[in-house]
Amino acid sequence: MVVGDKLEQANTQADVANHPLDPLSAEEIDRAVAIVKASAGLTDNLLFETIVLREPSKNDVLNFHPGAYVPREAFLVALDSEKQEVHELIVSLDTNELLQSEHIEGVQPAFIFGDHQTNFLQFESKIKHDPRYVEALSKRGITNPDLVMIDPWPISNFGDEKEKGKRLAIGRAWLRREATDNGYARPIEGLSVIIDLDKSEIFEIQDFGVVPIPPEDGNYATRYQESFREDLKPIEITQPEGASFTVTGKHVDWQKWQFRVGYTPREGLVIHNVTYQDQGKNRSVLYRGALSEMVVPYGDPTNDHYKKQVFDSGEVGIGKCANSLELGCDCLGEIYYFDVSLYDITGRANTQKNVICMHEEDFGVLWKHTDNRIGETEVRRSRRLVVSFFTTVGNYEYGFFWYFYQDGSIDYQVKLTGVVNSSAMLPGAKPKHGTLVAPQVVAHNHQHYFNVRLDMMVDGQENSVYEVDTVRDPISEENKHGNAFSVKKTLLTEEADFPRKIDPYAARYWTVANHSRHNYMGEPVSYKIAPGENVLPFHHDDAVIMKRAAFMTGHMWATEYDRDEMFAAGNYPNQHSGGDGLPKWMSGNRSLENKDVVIWYTFGHNHIPRLEDWPVMPVAYTGFSIRPSGFFDRNPALDVPPSDPHCKCDGDCAC
């Protein structure tokens, strides 16, 4: 049996028994925590930052069939708050045994604030009523600390010796006019509190000077709007016969696609075991795809704004911050929801409802041609399957979307919305590094970088990577008129060939090819990684963030598969000085020709705020595409039926 067939089998074995890639259930989370507490020899003061499935080896997954034994294990990261030690633990859920316990020195875990921020809200109240903080507020004319809201931000790492070894965060503050209005309209500029998370106390108050509180409201909620447009007619999206997909456990079957849905607290949505049916065979495309890391570096050098460089995945955990979605708001149509099992800081499991949304969308024309000579038009409507979730990290919302198309293409898209991070300025001042979005309110220039880890499996595990440029042919006897251009393909054979950068002037893209499988024209089958919007950092090369988030310095990265290499900035970016992750792993310069290749694609959104982004920003879109490029022998969507078989007419008509 070939590997592609194995991936099909791993997908299509219905959940008669739990599939090896199913996320941990609530019961398994509770059991894993109980095993650790009983067996690890740690203190009773454990806080749990990570509790996830330890995914089995690829070989076990690809050879899985009902009745086959695949070890079921959980991976945990626990903070022993009494000793201020981080421990990684592996437990067997088959034998209820602790398999491994390791103290990881010199690192800090991602933020641990409790279930739905309950723990931090209690902590926030303690901070706001600390006499030192109350005094700093009173200097600014703020007499009611209960109207102050404090957002915890990662503190970064700028080599401050007094911060070394301490688990810290920065508390940035805003003032509400009333309990339910938009507090981000009134930044409390110049006042930051450094929080010692281990001791649950203020480590330091930094006061850079008093700046008046901005005067205007910035409310966007329904209750604050005086009127609404009255010229909108209803749009109804109906599927009288139901959706075209089927779901068995976490396995999805739609059109010719099959895949599995997973989830982790750090990555959020994970897509496993992606295959596309071609001429009766399910052909493998992608073994695993998920957001590996994201970071938001800001561009203002004043006060402590230079420390704003949040790793929303590795320092916070976008999966922990996910929204529960509701019909008619985040998704429309015939919806299927997936619940997820999460946990609080004590390790107690809970189930969050409706986190992942799946539905179908009409997406315009799939293909069309009009043969005027015979008066015949053939057109097909495109339908796509959407799998998504939304997360709220402080002031920002991010929607992460996987789109599957009938022609074998996949799009990955991030939707950015929410409230831009706001700071205050003196009356009459104009910012150099941001935009005034309201009187005295500045939204600083910043960038959003996302790295998506794609464990490619193009018709099997032995893949190779090419860079593809369109080039101008030189003037010659064959190109006398200078009109010729052609394609230059460069095989990238080792990790030292990476990272690569986009080049829109060369229409650059990359392909992942399988040299052992050939298409109708005798060429290796391949899928291409096609850039969308992208940008490079504007930070200097020696800036701290360039070391901590080295994955921003290039767009296309590739490594040979390693089960333990999952996150582009390393396992513990919180307060880390940098150099971990991709640069560290690639230093061995492994071969990438005909190997089990992992692609790490980085894309950035450059956000120069606009007035129109205030007080809540319209969605901005960014992402990239994964498209067949010689994978199929011809258009695989020829068999998509016409939308309306009764739509027939002579001459010009609208069908």
Residues 319-333 have a mean pLDDT of 85
Task: Give me the catalytic one of 312, 407, 455, 459.
Answer: 312
How many alpha carbons lie under 13 Å from residue 297 in its C-beta half-sphere? 22
Q: How far apart are CA 648 and CA 644, in angstroms?
A: 9
Answer CATH for 115-224 from 3.10.450.40, 1.10.10.10, 3.40.630.30, 3.10.20.30 = 3.10.450.40
Confidence of residue 329 (pLDDT cuts 50, 70, 90): confident
Residues 495-521 have a mean pLDDT of 98
Tokens 């990265």, residue?
A: 557
Q: In CATH, what class is 3-104?
A: alpha beta
Task: Give the chain's length.
Answer: 655
Confidence of residue 123 (pLDDT cuts 50, 70, 90): confident
pLDDT at 63 exceeding the cut of 50: yes
Whole-number pLDDT of residue 10: 45
DSSP helix/strand/coil, 212: coil
pLDDT at 13 exceeding the cut of 70: no
CATH 2.70.98.20, the chain: domain bounds: 245-628
Confidence of residue 118 (pLDDT cuts 50, 70, 90): very low
* 80 is known as an active-site residue: no
Answer CATH for 245-628 from 2.70.98.20, 2.60.40.10, 1.20.1070.10, 3.40.50.1970 = 2.70.98.20
> Which tens digits make up the pLDDT trace of 401-447?
999 999 999 999 999 999 999 999 999 999 999 999 999 999 999 99
Structure tokens at 550: 């080295």
Confirm whether pTM is higher than 0.85: yes
Whole-number pLDDT of residue 236: 87
Q: How far apart are CA 138 and CA 134, in angstroms?
A: 6
Confidence of residue 5 (pLDDT cuts 50, 70, 90): low
Task: Give me the catalytic one of 133, 396, 398, 561.
Answer: 396
* 562 is known as an active-site residue: no
Whole-number pLDDT of residue 331: 86
Return the higher-pLDDT residue of 446 and 649: 446
Which amino acid makes up residue 66? P
Whole-number pLDDT of residue 199: 86
Confidence of residue 121 (pLDDT cuts 50, 70, 90): confident
Helices (H), 82-151: 118-128, 131-138
CATH 3.10.450.40, the chain: domain bounds: 3-104, 115-224
How many alpha carbons lie under 13 Å from residue 44 in its C-beta half-sphere? 0
Closest CA to 578 of 107, 160, 198, 104: 107
Whole-number pLDDT of residue 328: 62
Residues 600-619 have a mean pLDDT of 98
Structure tokens at 323: 């929204």
Q: How far apart are CA 151 and CA 608, in angstroms?
A: 22
